[in-house]
Amino acid sequence: MARSVNFTVGNRRIRSGKTNYRTRLRLLKSSMPRLVVRKSLKNTLAQVVEYQQVGDKVIVAADARMLKGFGWKGSPGNMPSAYLVGLLVGKRAKEKGMRSMILDIGQNKSVKGSRVYAVLKGVVDAGISVPHSDAVIPDDSRIKGEHIASFAGLLGDKARKAFACYEKQGVAPKDLPMLVEQVKKSILGT
């Protein structure tokens, strides 16, 4: 407990680790719409947000649970679903007339090849210009889910228990790369 008369309590969002205001100010000074990416263990959320005086305005949003409408039967918290979320947000942003934006990863750590950058790859593949380095983008094999299919093959008989959620949805882990391509075509409408 503070005993000094001069003690001041900091901002609540800084204390709880939700907002870094220096980074936010730098992003806002660019005066470009922000591609906001947030992730949890079972979901990936992507939004296109514009700054306004009264508060940020969400222009377009998508999360991994929306992919079921496009035929996605895999896990909503993996690399292929993050890519497809980015593709969906990018397509919707392009329909709204947006051409470029800047990436806002918030309090997520910048890890090369992570789900955050899989979302970025999806947005770029949809035709939106986002400044980035190609070194951080995950490999195409990981985006297609080939690493999941090969891991399931290594497990052999134990794969049935480890990938029970896939089997419950009616998809085998080895068929995941093919499923990613089908959902991608469904999102793009080709």
Per residue in 16-65, pLDDT (tens digit) is: 878 787 887 888 888 899 999 999 999 999 999 999 989 899 999 999 99
The per-residue pLDDT for range 58-70, each reduced to its tens digit, is 999 999 999 999 9
* Range with lowest mean pLDDT among 15-29, 60-74, 110-124, 138-152: 15-29
Q: In order of start, what are the domains of the chain with their CATH numbers? A: 16-139 (3.30.420.100)
Other C-beta atoms lying within 10 Å of the C-beta of residue 93: 25
Using a cut of 0.85, tell me whether the model's pTM lies above it.
yes
Sequence-separated (6 or more) residues with CB below 8 Å from residue 87: 122, 123, 125, 126, 184, 187, 188
